[in-house]
Amino acid sequence: MNSASDTIAAIASGLAPSGIGVIRISGPEAFRAADEVMRFSGGRSAAASDGHTFLYGTACDEDGSEIDEAIVLIMRAPHSYTGEDTAELQCHGGPYVMRRLLMRVLSCGVRLAEPGEFTKRAFLSGRMDLSQAEAVMQLIEAENESARRAAVSSLRGDLGRRVSAVRAGLLYETAYLEAALDDPEHISLEGYGSRLEETVKGAQSEIEDLLRMSDEGRVFAEGIRTVILGRPNAGKSTLLNLFSGYERAIVTGIPGTTRDILEEKVRLGELLLILTDTAGLRETSDEVEGIGVRRAYDAAEGADLIIYVVDGSLPPSAEDAEMLKKAGERPVILLLNKADEALAAPACDYEAALGRSPIVFSAKEGTGRSELEEKIREMFFREEIFEGGSLTVANSRQKEALISCRASLENVLNAIREGMPEDLYTVDLVDAYTILGMITGESVSDDLINEIFSRFCMGK
């Protein structure tokens, strides 16, 4: 059985060829293992060195043959990533060299680290709370500046501090209630419901803000799921090719050319779109094309955004109006395409017929692209995010906890409004307090901790 007291090692820099590779060793025998592998210049040793010092030497096999030159960084507990004694071997970054050196380290009685085990040890040693630990992977997976900034915000503890502040308020009220119920002669609950209601509403407001940020953060981290809809030959595939920067989709003048779903990740400035091109929407007797049309509607059901493309060389149609109605409450942007040709009617006529203000666009020439980008920004993001403001983002697990906490807080408010006995308040107050502890890691099971860190990459 693996133990938290084992000394562990793994390649921390990935296995892609690079100038420098890093092998991290952490645990009580880290310095002994480094001394066993390395021959340091000047007869120095890792075990006798101060923390945060570099040692230069040669990594050697058991028979004394040289493996590679290396530099070893010494970090003594608790001043390391894991909070344990840590030695990091920095060698040349060839995959074979790194694997060879790792095998040598493991031959010194060191165990191969499990995925995420270094960060798990940092959490267990109190170096970071669970929200900070999870932010490590958010930072690794960040694909744009705002996602990076959000991950850094959580990594420095912003999410944990906000959650802990709400928990502290709930704990105070719970303790006050319990004390008053135990000692009613000395602690009065007269008018307490109004005071508690104010506290709970403040907690709810904070939870709602975190949930809103979580939704915004998801589209930053994962991209806006965007589906392109429209009738055949409206220019949907040309639009996909414009954003992709290459001929991703086949474009012809033949209706029904696109029959299946085509997906591409594209960037519009700061925005990341998971853009899906679909078959043209129309009634068809072609079985294969019909499947494509059904898939188009299915894709629209799960979309964050629908870009509906209208052929501006044709007059406004009842078919487009009917298809737009099917979008329901989902965000829709109407593109009046083929502005490079003569429009069949003024843009205001399309707005009157289709019930939406269109962006005059040319997928062929790129006209209207900046207006489309600005419209998406307005629909999905608050301006302060783009101006460098802090964005504290909860992941899906944390978001579920926030939603459950919100429900518990609502139960407290309902109990107050219905004049229920005060001892019933504590049930949901304690629930909300415990649920929030799942975000920071203060009330989470070992099984859940293991599951969370098992999703991390090896060496982190």
* pLDDT digit string, tens, across residues 64-107: 999 999 999 999 999 999 999 999 999 999 999 999 999 999 99
* Residue 98 · residue 15 · CB < 8 Å: yes
**What string of H, E and C letters represents the secondary structure of 63-128?**
CCCEEEEEEEEEECCCCCCCCCCEEEEEEEECHHHHHHHHHHHHCCCCEECCCCHHHHHHHHCCCC
Q: What is the mean pLDDT of the chain?
A: 83
**pLDDT at position 250:** 42
3-state secondary structure of 429: helix
Residue written as token pair 């294969």? 288
* Residue 285 · residue 265 · CB < 8 Å: no
Asked which of 291-295, 305-309, 343-347 is least confident by mean pLDDT, the reply is 291-295
**Which one is predicted more confidently, 403 or 245?**
403
**pLDDT at position 232:** 78
pLDDT-derived band at 256 (thresholds 50, 70, 90) equals very low
What mean pLDDT comes out for the span 209-224?
Answer: 75
**Which one is predicted more confidently, 162 or 283?**
162
For the chain, residues classed under CATH 3.30.1360.120 are 8-128
For the chain, residues classed under CATH 3.40.50.300 are 223-386
Q: Which of 36, 6, 31 lies closest to 117 in space, CA to CA?
A: 6
CATH of domain 223-386: 3.40.50.300
**pLDDT at position 1:** 54
pLDDT for 174 beyond 70:
yes
CATH of domain 134-218+395-441: 1.20.120.430
Asked which of 145-154, 172-181, 247-256, 302-311 is least confident by mean pLDDT, the reply is 247-256
Q: In what order do the strands lie in the sheet with 38-40?
A: 38-40, 53-60, 66-75, 86-93, 18-26, 8-11, 111-112
pLDDT for 330 beyond 80:
no
pLDDT-derived band at 249 (thresholds 50, 70, 90) equals very low
Counting Cα atoms < 13 Å in the Cβ hemisphere of 211 gives 16
CATH of domain 8-128: 3.30.1360.120
pLDDT-derived band at 221 (thresholds 50, 70, 90) equals low
pLDDT for 151 beyond 60:
yes
What mean pLDDT comes out for the span 197-216?
Answer: 88
What count of other Cβ atoms lies within 10 Å of the Cβ of residue 55? Answer: 21
For the chain, residues classed under CATH 1.20.120.430 are 134-218+395-441
**Which one is predicted more confidently, 198 or 5?**
198
**What string of H, E and C letters represents the secondary structure of 204-273?**
HHHHHHHHHHHHHHHHHHHCEEEEEEECCCCCHHHHHHHHHCCCCCCCCCCCCCCCCCEEEEEEECCEEE
pLDDT for 407 beyond 90:
yes
N-to-C CA span, the chain: 21
Query: What does the DSSP assignment read for 173-188?
Result: HHHHHHHHHH-TTTS-
In the chain, the percentage of residues whose pLDDT exceeds 90 is 40
**pLDDT at position 25:** 97
pLDDT for 117 beyond 90:
yes
Asked which of 6-10, 196-200, 272-276, 385-389 is least confident by mean pLDDT, the reply is 385-389
**pLDDT at position 277:** 75
**pLDDT at position 290:** 55
**pLDDT at position 370:** 86
pLDDT-derived band at 286 (thresholds 50, 70, 90) equals low
**pLDDT at position 47:** 95
**pLDDT at position 390:** 52
pLDDT-derived band at 394 (thresholds 50, 70, 90) equals low
Residue 8: strand pairing partners: 26, 111
* Residue 150 · residue 393 · CB < 8 Å: yes
Cα 400–chain centre separation: 14
pLDDT for 421 beyond 50:
yes
**pLDDT at position 226:** 84
What mean pLDDT comes out for the span 244-248?
Answer: 57
What mean pLDDT comes out for the span 192-218?
Answer: 87
What mean pLDDT comes out for the span 371-375?
Answer: 87
Please tell me the distance from the alpha carbon of residue 76 to that of residue 108, in angstroms, as a whole number.
Answer: 20
Asked which of 16-20, 92-96, 110-114, 360-364 is least confident by mean pLDDT, the reply is 360-364
Please tell me the distance from the alpha carbon of residue 451 to that of residue 445, in angstroms, as a whole number.
Answer: 10
**pLDDT at position 10:** 95
